[in-house]
Structure formats: C-alpha cells, structure tokens
Chain A
C-alpha cells in the first residue's frame, strides 16, 4: 500500500510534522514532567518508566530514537524513571480510556474477516460500539469531555478526560465497565446478561442503536428463525429501512408482543452486535495507551482524532507518508 516505514521517515515525521501543540492540548499542560511515556524502539524493544522535563525533550527523544510506537500513561506524584519506576511512586491520575478492537468481534463477524482484517460490514460493529458508549457516557454518566481516536490499525480509543474521571480508582472504573457489559466471557461462551429492569436508559439505547443495525443487517430468514412470521419479518425490515428516526419506542411497536420471541430477539441483538470492550485497558490505571497523533509502527497510519465515527473508515485515516508530502 505504501513505502517502507523506515527509521528516517519516522524521525522526519516526529521532527517536522508531529503536532506537539495538539498533543499537549490533548493531555493537558499541567503535570507533564510527571507523566509516564512508553516507546517501542530499535528491534521492537519496549521501554517504559520514561518522563520528560519539557516537550522539546519529548520531540527530540521520539525523533532521535525513531520510535516505532509511542504510548502515554498516567501521571504520578514524581517523574517516572528507571530509578523511580511507576511501581514505586505514587499514582496521581489517569484519564478513563476505552479500547475497541475489531478482532474482539471475531466470534460474531459474519463477513469472513478475522483478526486485523476488516471491511465496511464489520467496521460498522466498531462504529455502533463508539456511538453506544459515547452516548452512554454522556447521557448516563454525565461526562462531557470525550474524544475518540483511531488506534492506527484495527480499532479506536475513547478518552474521557473529565476531571472527575481522572481520579477514579479501579473499583469505580470496573463499575462503569460492568454497567456497560452485557456479553460476559466474550471470547468463549459469550454469556448474555438479561437486560436489567432498572437500567432503562441502557435498555432503550440497545433498542435504538444496536437493534436498528441488527435489523438492517438481518434477512427475513434470520427473523423467521427467531420465531417471527414471514410477513411480519418482511414488514419489520421494511419499517426499519424507512424509519427516519428509529428509537426504543419504534422497536417496541414493530416487534411482536410474544415474550418468547422478544427475549430471543433481544438475545440475538446483544450477542451479534453489542459492544465488546478490552476490559484490561479501561481497568488498569497504570497502563500506557497509544499516544494521540503518533505513528502506528506497523501500518504507518496516524492516531488521529475521529471527528465523526459514522463516516470514519480506517483506510481513509491519514498516514505518515501523506503527512510528509
């Protein structure tokens, strides 16, 4: 697709094109000295516990070392270093981060893509996930400062930077994750949780965002298998395709009232299209995440901010060669 990603190209990008001002605006100016960074350098050597006195040092490091992958971590009470590793210094704060990877949907992708591969069909699973999580974070949890970034290869990262979220401990982060989780043991048994009575906004969102995509991607036969009569199945698909605003109310109106059918359909909707999240990334307050605007060392693509997930497709993301043109 592109030329080889050489150390020289990486070095030139970080020296001349890396938008340091945007990056700093993203992570905030305060506590920069105490922020942990991690890099993959040389022959895939991963180094952590690195901090910088100022942004000039950061740029110089990334350019000189031609870092293949760059990561940013939490802020500590003192500057992380080889002599003050993060395990020995006091943690101060960390943004609340989601990692969505297309390969987490491998068990339910029907297009034939697996692993790092993706197509417009399966990428819609990531798009729905982002829409679902973004709305849940804003409407249910009241967060306002949320940015979605392309990971540079097969997924997206959601950064919640509201001050209150920075200080969440692991229990609070896990609580939010558990609230969002409907598919347990997602890489094996995929056990589906019943939609809870009290979490009504979550339930309505499932019927608005997830159900709509499920029904749009279903054939009449799929719905007949669930127990819906053929004529009704045809009608449902038609209604979804023509509804300008599909929401939970529309869903409840068009789906047959038979409880067994409804339960079966909800189960299928959640199983096939509900968000899958890499829990470890969100839970671990000391984890490093891909540095916004940096290069993905395997693809040469840049971890840019996604303005509108509905129109974003990985192939259209900018890469280092474009940036250097």
Chain B
C-alpha cells in the first residue's frame, strides 16, 4: 500500500515531469533566492487551481529542488548548505501543514510505514484505549485557548513511532511508551524528524552524483547553479545570521579566555591534553574562535601549537597541509563560505554541549575547581540547581545558571542560545568599562 505524500515534501518520488533547461535553471535560481532571504514558504493547492495550473507549481518546486540537489552532489560544501536550508524548510512545512494526515504520511515515509501508527491504529491493534488507560488529552485546555490555528493545535496531537527510531525523545522521557511504541506529541519530535529528513536528503544528494557523472550535458546544466551558490556564499553568510540572536561577536573577546563558555574551555583543554579533537569538535572550536574575533593567522598558530598534527612540520608546512580546515572556516578555500559557529541547539544535538554530554559528577567537580574563590554555599547551591536542570534535559538553562555563577548576571530569557552570546556577555561583564557600556547603550541581560 503506497501512502499519499504532500507535494511540498521533496523526498517524494516526483513521477514524470518535463521541464526545459532554461526554465529549470530559473526555478533553481528562485529557490536559491528564497533560501538566501530566509523566508520559508509552503505550497498548497488553492481550490481555484486547475490540474494544469497546479502541475506548473509542482514542476517549479520539484524542478528547482532537483537541480540544486544535482549541483550539491558535486560539491560537498554546497551539499552541507543545501541539507541545512532544505532541513529548515522541511521543518517549517511539516510544522505548519494544516493536514494532520499529511504529517502522519510524511512520518511513515521517513521512518517506514511499519514504524509509525496513528493512536487509533494502535488502539485497534492492541484492543485498548490509550487515552482512557493513561488519562491523556491531546490538547491541554490552557494551551488550546492560546493556539487557535489548526497547525498549532496539531502540535499537541500524538502519534505512535517505534521507540528505537527516536532515541533522543526516549532518552528525554518525552514519550509515553507502550509495547515498544512511543506515543508522542508532534511538538516533541520536530527536531528529531528534521534530523531524519536531513539524513535522508543528504543520502539522496550523494546518490544523485551518479547522474551527473554519467551525463555530461547535465554536468554543463548545473554549472551556472553551482557558480551562483558559490558567488553568493563569498558575499554573504548563508543560512541565517547571528543577528537572529540579537548579538554579534566582539573583535576582542577571543583574547579573554575567562569569558569562554564551558563547552569551549573543555574543547581547548582536551585539545591541549590529547593533541586532537573529533572532526566536528574541531569545527565547533574553529568557528567559535573565528566568531569571537580571532584572526586567521592567530588561529593557525593556535592549532599549530596545540594539535598533534604539527609533529615534524614547520609552521608553513602545517598551514599548507593541515591548515585547510581553518582556512575553510574563514572562507579562504573551497566554496568561500563564511561559516558560522553552531547554535546551542545544534551543539546539543550533534556537536559538543558541556551540559548535555559531560557526566554530572565531572561537571560538579569542574565547578568546584573553577570557582574555588567563590563562597562554598554559593557553589553548592549552584551545583544543586545546575544538576536539577540538567537531569530535566534543560541544557541551555543549565548554561544560563552556570553563567550566573560565573558572572553574577542573570540571563533574562533563562537560557543561553549560542556560545558567542555567552562569551560576549561575559566579556561585557568583566572587560567593558561602565563608560564604554554607556556609550554602546547596551544592557545587562
């Protein structure tokens, strides 16, 4: 039995489509422009549209995506970018779709039909009534009043997914488990579903390379698209900007190690002790240092002095052979993309987050050592607070509490969103004089 997938879902088999090369490039251009603007869109068939009119919209959507997919298959950096922006777009479309069945069908496609059930299907299968047995309600009444739109109300509806498909949700105890099925609200799986989509889109991009390899005409067709993305990347940060968070890195922050967040301090310590980090941790540290103002020459020196990759190499040899990744971060090699450091949410999910990935006992030990000059009661109560927040999986809030202990300042939102946010605020706290602060008109968060 095949399931009906929505037309906005780019992993859907497109079927037969015909498009001429000129239009094809135009569709891809339009898609790139929309991604760059950071303005997500969804395609829904208006009732007034004829089949022919709707077919044109679908061809524009699928054609544009497919050409980008082919272009990305030839270039790893474009592939990384495309996975990220298509992931964001997918998340937006999935969450804002007003049709609950659409959501279920997309989940069935991503995780396999046998691994996803509606609650009704689960009830029928086990001859029970989960809602009654566990006293569940789809929409909490207070929230229901606040959210009147169908799409938002859908977020509180539940779906059943085999537990082994969504380990991070199980880990956080955000699902009701019944006979191996995780009964979970749509709102709790949005990030997990996005990651699964990104994994699958990344795989199909890789597989698309074979089409380009086998067809020289296709290779010529994708050239202008690849060129456009590369040029845009050189002139503009791709995929959102730090201003989303209401702050930017200061040029001087990198000189003040005492202002670094605990995740970065840990990475630096591991690098100094072991001489190397995992690839993604290199990336996290490198992009952070860049964003807090460390110039490329200085960063190259930093890695030369601390990494084991320097063995037997002169500094110049190191820069030529190993410094590739650092120059890449600064956009001086490869596609010329000016890369950003990952947000806290991304770090929790796939990079290194001190509070999500370090053992609780080690964290409390670290705190005692780092803040040994502070009052013992203050340290104890902070450790107590931080531990409680961590075990409830609120890692960004734990970081905010740590920041409070570190600086004495309270983060109003109650959470740290970005490593650079941590450093910039700590820098302001410890190194910006009151006069300067007045001049800049900035406020303590």
A248 CB to closest chain B CB, in angstroms? 11
- Which one of B69-77, B103-111, B173-181, B300-308 is at the A interface? B173-181
Contacts of B384 in A (CB 8 A): 191
B179 touches A142 (CB 8 A): yes
A140 touches B178 (CB 8 A): yes
A176 touches B170 (CB 8 A): yes
Within 8 A of A (CB), among B337-393: 359-361, 364, 383-384, 387-388, 390-392
A189 touches B383 (CB 8 A): yes
Contacts of B177 in A (CB 8 A): 139-141, 179, 199, 201-202
With known contacts A140-B177, A141-B177, A198–B361 Cβ distance under 8 A: no
Q: Of the candidates B163, B176, B364, which one forms a contact with A201 in the assembled complex, judged by CB atoms under 8 Å apart?
A: B176
> Is B150 an interface position by the 8 A CB rule?
no
A172 touches B360 (CB 8 A): no
Within 8 A of B (CB), among A174-191: 174-176, 178-179, 184-185, 187-189, 191
How distant is the Cα of A307 from the Cα of B260 in the complex, in angstroms?
55
Contacts of B178 in A (CB 8 A): 139-140, 201
What sequence of 0s and 1s flags, for each residue 165-209 of chain B, a beta carbon within 8 Å of any chain A beta carbon? 001101111111111110011001000000000000000000000
With known contacts A172-B164, A198-B176, A201-B178, A189–B170 Cβ distance under 8 A: no
27 A-B pairs within 8 Å (CB atoms) are namely A140-B180, A141-B163, A141-B177, A142-B180, A142-B181, A171-B167, A172-B164, A172-B167, A179-B170, A179-B171, A179-B177, A184-B360, A184-B387, A187-B361, A189-B383, A191-B360, A191-B384, A191-B387, A191-B388, A191-B391, A198-B173, A199-B177, A200-B135, A201-B134, A201-B177, A201-B178, A202-B173
How distant is the Cα of A220 from the Cα of B255 in the complex, in angstroms?
60
How distant is the Cα of A116 from the Cα of B133 in the complex, in angstroms?
42
A194 touches B392 (CB 8 A): yes
A161 CB to closest chain B CB, in angstroms? 15
A185 touches B364 (CB 8 A): yes
A98 CB to closest chain B CB, in angstroms? 16
Contacts of B175 in A (CB 8 A): 198-199
How distant is the Cα of A188 from the Cα of B368 in the complex, in angstroms?
14
Interface size on B, residues (CB 8 A): 33
Interface centre among B180, B360, B364, B392 (most CB of A within 10 A): B180
With known contacts A142-B180, A200-B134, A174–B391 Cβ distance under 8 A: no
How distant is the Cα of A199 from the Cα of B177 in the complex, in angstroms?
7
Contacts of B174 in A (CB 8 A): 196, 198
Contacts of A143 in B (CB 8 A): 180
A200 touches B176 (CB 8 A): yes
A184 touches B391 (CB 8 A): yes
Q: Of the candidates B173, B181, B392, which one forms a contact with A199 in the assembled complex, judged by CB atoms under 8 Å apart?
A: B173
> Is A225 an interface position by the 8 A CB rule?
no
Contacts of A187 in B (CB 8 A): 361
B173 touches A175 (CB 8 A): no
B170 touches A178 (CB 8 A): yes
Contacts of B176 in A (CB 8 A): 198-201
With known contacts A141-B163, A193-B391, A175–B171 Cβ distance under 8 A: yes
Within 8 A of B (CB), among A125-184: 139-143, 164, 168, 171-172, 174-176, 178-179, 184
Interface centre among A200, A201, A202 (most CB of B within 10 A): A200
What residue of chain A has the Cβ atom nearest to residue B136's Cβ?
A: A200
A174 touches B171 (CB 8 A): yes
How distant is the Cα of A187 from the Cα of B364 in the complex, in angstroms?
13
Contacts of A191 in B (CB 8 A): 360, 384, 387-388, 390-391
How distant is the Cα of A168 from the Cα of B164 in the complex, in angstroms?
8
Contacts of B168 in A (CB 8 A): 175
What sequence of 0s and 1s flags, for each residue 193-216 of chain A, a beta carbon within 8 Å of any chain B beta carbon? 110101111100000000000000
Contacts of A140 in B (CB 8 A): 177-180
How distant is the Cα of A247 from the Cα of B7 in the complex, in angstroms?
49
How distant is the Cα of A239 from the Cα of B243 in the complex, in angstroms?
61
How distant is the Cα of A142 from the Cα of B173 in the complex, in angstroms?
16
What residue of chain B has the Cβ atom nearest to residue A164's Cβ?
A: B164
What residue of chain B has the Cβ atom nearest to residue A193's Cβ?
A: B391
Q: Of the candidates A178, A192, A200, A201, which one forms a contact with B171 in the assembled complex, judged by CB atoms under 8 Å apart?
A: A178
Q: A139-B177, A179-B170, A189-B360 are in contact. List 12 more A-B contacts (CB 8 A).
A: A143-B180, A172-B167, A175-B171, A178-B170, A178-B173, A184-B387, A184-B390, A184-B391, A188-B364, A199-B175, A200-B135, A200-B176
How distant is the Cα of A198 from the Cα of B182 in the complex, in angstroms?
10
How distant is the Cα of A201 from the Cα of B135 in the complex, in angstroms?
11
Contacts of A189 in B (CB 8 A): 360-361, 364, 383, 387
Please give me the 5 A-B residue pairs with the lowest Cβ-Cβ distance, nearest first: A142-B180, A175-B167, A140-B177, A178-B171, A142-B179
How distant is the Cα of A68 from the Cα of B176 in the complex, in angstroms?
44
A175 CB to closest chain B CB, in angstroms? 3
B96 CB to closest chain A CB, in angstroms? 24
How distant is the Cα of A201 from the Cα of B184 in the complex, in angstroms?
13
What residue of chain B has the Cβ atom nearest to residue A204's Cβ?
A: B134
Contacts of B170 in A (CB 8 A): 175-176, 178-179
What residue of chain B has the Cβ atom nearest to residue A167's Cβ?
A: B164
B116 CB to closest chain A CB, in angstroms? 15
Interface centre among A140, A191, A196, A198 (most CB of B within 10 A): A198
What residue of chain A has the Cβ atom nearest to residue B386's Cβ?
A: A191
What residue of chain A has the Cβ atom nearest to residue B169's Cβ?
A: A175
What residue of chain A has the Cβ atom nearest to residue B383's Cβ?
A: A189
Contacts of A202 in B (CB 8 A): 173, 177
With known contacts A139-B179, A141-B180, A142-B180, A185–B173 Cβ distance under 8 A: no
Contacts of A179 in B (CB 8 A): 170-171, 173, 177
Q: Of the candidates A171, A188, A194, A199, which one forms a contact with B361 in the assembled complex, judged by CB atoms under 8 Å apart?
A: A188
What residue of chain A has the Cβ atom nearest to residue B175's Cβ?
A: A198
Within 8 A of B (CB), among A93-115: none
Contacts of A192 in B (CB 8 A): 391
A247 CB to closest chain B CB, in angstroms? 13
Contacts of B135 in A (CB 8 A): 200
A34 CB to closest chain B CB, in angstroms? 24
How distant is the Cα of A199 from the Cα of B178 in the complex, in angstroms?
10
Contacts of A198 in B (CB 8 A): 173-176, 184-185, 188
